Structure 1
Amino acid sequence: MRTLESLLDEGASVPVEGWDFSWFAGPPTRATEERPPWGYARRLAGRYAAARAALDVQTGGGEVVRAALTGAAEVPAVLAVTESWPPNAALARAALAPWRAEVAEVPDDAPLPFPDGRFDLVSSRHPVSVNWPELARVLAPGGTYFAQHVGVGTAADLTDFMMGPQPVGDGRSPARAVADAERVGLRVVDLREATLRMEFFDVAAVAVYLRKVIWIVPGFTVEGYRDKLAELHERIRDHGPFVAHTTRYLIECSRPDVPL
């Protein structure tokens, strides 16, 4: 087994821009995460084929949108995405350049810089926050919001190990999302949930994951959590991969074909 110091050095140095998680697959395998059964990117590709104007919110580096567009029989005539972090926005511009996508750099909780009713499809994969009034505003009558959200308690096993037991609220619950969607006049037409297994095979993988997915342990740095990472290193050495769990839900909403 590699030394703690070499793993921590690696965990602190791996680039974390974008939503490309291929580094974890190795070789060697560093971490695994079970995928939801519904195939979000494949389903999004089918919706792109039927859309005239599409917006992806909090797109990361555009990786999921690019995969969906590549698999789509046809693509929307108008394509836009938003992203709050400049390094990710730069990746999205490069990834989506073949489709001439507009990339708008806006904070995750800011108003969307588009006119009312501009898009017949709005999508998002793992948004940090969901601005339901803005989503409803930019949707055209008869339009669709199609997304995969992170659910309650995602990676709580890892959060609690690193930070001690933490309270779990309902802010990311499907029930809360349904209520918020209906409050702005959207109608939920599909809702599916899944609990999925994650395994981390070394502390470098844990460090890269926590640097990349910043809300799991807010303020995480390798140096700041060195003692807990050392403890986790020993646990993995003695007992095998660290197991955590994620929750995901697929949600599809339609805007009524009448003014909200």
Structure 2
Amino acid sequence: MGIFEDLVAEGDAVPLEGWDFSWFEGRATEERPPWGYASLIAARLAAVESALDLQTGGGEVTASAPVLPALMAATESWPPNARVAARNLPLVVRAPDAGPLPFRSSVFDLVISRHPVATPWAEIARVLKPGGTYFSQQIGERTNRELTEFMMGPQPVGNGHVLERARAEAEAAGFEVLQLEPVALKVQFFDVGAVVHFLRKVLWTVPGFTVEGYRDRLLDMHEHIQEHGRFESTSQRFLIEATLSGAGARGGS
């Protein structure tokens, strides 16, 4: 029990601000999507004069681009993340994930977002210039379902229509979808401390997670990892690229 308690306490003590996963090195792994999101946005950011990063987290991925446009703005709703992002990016504003966005209409050539909680398509269309692009890597349906169900038991099965829904919502807001590509990726946890930190950081995996509330299941997880050497799960991701067709969806000022 001493090892279990130490690992849980360690995972429970790691700060949550920012979107840097380097703490997991040697303790958990996740396959990377084949398209290389950071490289793709770096190329796009270098080719435009204005861009907006929605729900930027700590801004780490966007800040890694070698060249940023003259106007580079970002939004973040969680104050600790917004403070980290303000150190990484030139302009960060607080804004709710689902909008409204605190920008004038037709300002940006490019809107990007990595793992958004919500995609406010009408607001994205409003702040983009005609012909502008939305480019995003998003979380697919039932991502890490094995981990969720280990902790919470069997969960309702979704309808599997997340890609169709994303396309329909984009088109309804005046976009033409150019890319819509899903991928399933292997995730491995090598100690229960890594599971604790992940569940604290990636809140949607086990909503309402606390160490005390899930201590029994964490002990079962610890025993599983001790026996098998790891716990394996599957993350779901999809890439979407869409351009604003014609005048797009306009409104506001």
Interval containing the TM-score (normalised by the shorter chain)? over 0.9
The count of residues paired between Structure 1 and Structure 2 equals 249
Is 1:57 equivalent to 2:50 in the alignment?
Answer: no
Partner deviation per Cα, 1:93-150 (whole Å, 9 max, x = no partner):
0112xxxx21111121230001111101000000011111111111110100001000
Map 1:39-118; keep pairs closer than 5 Å: 39-68=36-65, 70=66, 72=67, 75-96=68-89, 101-118=90-107
Displacement after TM superposition at 1:10 (Å): 0.5
Q: Are 1:170 and 1:176, in contact at CA under 8 Å, matched by a contact in 2?
A: no
Q: Are 1:48 and 1:54, in contact at CA under 8 Å, matched by a contact in 2?
A: yes
1:193 corresponds to which letter in structure 2?
A: P
SS at match of 1:197: strand
Q: Whole-Å Cα distance in 2 between the matches of residues 169 and 131 of structure 1?
A: 21
In the alignment, what sits opposite 1:5? 5
Q: Are 2:56 and 2:114, in contact at CA under 8 Å, matched by a contact in 1?
A: yes
Partner deviation per Cα, 1:38-58 (whole Å, 9 max, x = no partner):
000101011011111100000
Q: Are 1:195 and 1:247, in contact at CA under 8 Å, matched by a contact in 2?
A: yes
1:6 corresponds to which letter in structure 2?
A: D
In the alignment, what sits opposite 2:229? 240
Q: Are 1:211 and 1:221, in contact at CA under 8 Å, matched by a contact in 2?
A: yes
In the alignment, what sits opposite 1:193? 182
Q: Are 1:158 and 1:244, in contact at CA under 8 Å, matched by a contact in 2?
A: yes
Query: Which of 230, 249, 255 is the aligned partner of 2:219?
Result: 230
Q: Are 2:173 and 2:248, in contact at CA under 8 Å, matched by a contact in 1?
A: no
Displacement after TM superposition at 1:79 (Å): 0.8
SS at match of 1:3: helix
Q: Whole-Å Cα distance in 2 between the matches of residues 85 and 169 of structure 1?
A: 28
Q: Are 2:177 and 2:243, in contact at CA under 8 Å, matched by a contact in 1?
A: yes
Taking structure 1 as reference, are residues 259 and 217 closer, same or farther at Cα in structure 2, changes over 3 Å only?
closer
1:45 corresponds to which letter in structure 2?
A: A
SS at match of 1:245: strand
Taking structure 1 as reference, are residues 238 and 55 closer, same or farther at Cα in structure 2, changes over 3 Å only?
same
Query: Which of 114, 119, 124 is the aligned partner of 2:108?
Result: 119
In the alignment, what sits opposite 1:219? 208
**TM (normalized to structure 2)?**
0.95
Q: Whole-Å Cα distance in 2 between the matches of residues 217 and 259 of structure 1?
A: 37
Task: Kindly report structure 1 stretches of 4+ aligned residues shifted beyond 2 Å.
Answer: 168-172, 257-260
2:75 corresponds to which letter in structure 1?
A: T
SS at match of 1:192: strand
Unaligned runs of 5+ in 2: none
Partner deviation per Cα, 1:227-248 (whole Å, 9 max, x = no partner):
1000110111112200000011
Unaligned runs of 5+ in 1: none
Taking structure 1 as reference, are residues 119 and 231 closer, same or farther at Cα in structure 2, changes over 3 Å only?
same
